[in-house]
Amino acid sequence: MSEAPNIDYEALEAEKSEEVRGDLTLQLKAKTNEAGRIDSLKRTILSYVASESYDSAKENLEGYINFKTEFPLFQERSQRYKEHCMDLIQAIQLKRNFPGITSLSFAKQQEIHESVIQHFEELKMALNSIQKIERELKLEDLRSTTWFLKTLNYSLLTVATVGFLVALKSGLGQSFYLVVDRLTDQITTFLIELFPF
């Protein structure tokens, strides 16, 4: 009589769970690579979340928003997005580190991982909104700077023109009149001498 092979179902389940967890990490890292420039806020925060450095992600997001003091409205306008991002990071952390996830069925684990991916995509959109607010404020600042420089340019041109006209009228104008009068006399004298009547 042959013995049935001993199959350790718990070990197989744990192995499968670890494989699913690894696949999730790879999926999140792939989505992070699609998130734009390497030095952008979005990519930095998503990288931390994908590598399960949740505290670093929260600290960087908080620091980034608090650091942008050159745009006073930035903190105010991005506050609700920041809070939403913090909630999403927390939700991703809780679902990825769900206690007893290995005791759940494979389908339930898959469902939790799909939920993590949805939260990750939502986090990406919220971070995109924060970057959009920053770009809008930079553009407004650039426009106001351009407006100021144009106004300054026109003011300087006006002052220079008025100064030239005043100089022309007082000193230069008199000299110009004398030169033109003298030149006219010389031309007239030359013509009279050239054509005697």
Q: What is the pLDDT of residues 159-193, one digit of tens each?
A: 888 887 777 777 766 777 788 888 888 888 888 88
Angle of CA points 124, 126, 132, to nearest 5°? 100
Return phi, psi of residue 156, to 5°: -65, -40
More confident residue, 164 or 34: 164
Residue 23 pLDDT level (bands cut at 50, 70, 90): low
pLDDT of residue 47: 84
pLDDT of residue 18: 65
Is 46's pLDDT higher than 60? yes
Name the packing angle between helices 106-167 and 9-33 (round to 10°): 10
Residue whose entry in the numeric block shows the structure tokens 């494979």: 106
User: Is residue 116 within 8 Å of 96, Cβ to Cβ?
Assistant: yes
CA 18 from chain centre, in angstroms, equals 37
pLDDT per position as a tens digit, 67-117: 877 777 888 888 899 999 999 999 888 887 777 766 677 677 778 888 888
Angle of CA points 104, 109, 115, to nearest 5°? 135
Over residues 6-19, the mean pLDDT reads 64
Map the chain to HEC letters.
CCCCCCCCHHHHHHHHHHHHHHHHHHHHHHHHHCCCCCCCHHHHHHHHHHCCCHHHHHHHHHHHHHHCCCCHHHHHHHHHHHHHHHHHHHHHHHHHCCCCHHHCCHHHHHHHHHHHHHHHHHHHHHHHHHHHHHHHHHHHHHHHHHHHHHHHHHHHHHHHHHHHHHHHHHHHHHHHHHHHHHHHHHHHHHHHHHCCC
What span, in angstroms and rounded, lies between the C-alpha atoms of 171 and 68?
Answer: 55
pLDDT of residue 169: 72
Over residues 10-22, the mean pLDDT reads 64
Is 2's pLDDT higher than 60? no
pLDDT of residue 1: 46
Residue 197 pLDDT level (bands cut at 50, 70, 90): low
Over residues 111-129, the mean pLDDT reads 87
Q: What is the pTM of this model?
A: 0.63
Over residues 117-144, the mean pLDDT reads 87
Mean of the per-residue pLDDT values for the chain? 79
User: Is residue 104 within 8 Å of 13, Cβ to Cβ?
Assistant: no
Over residues 36-60, the mean pLDDT reads 81
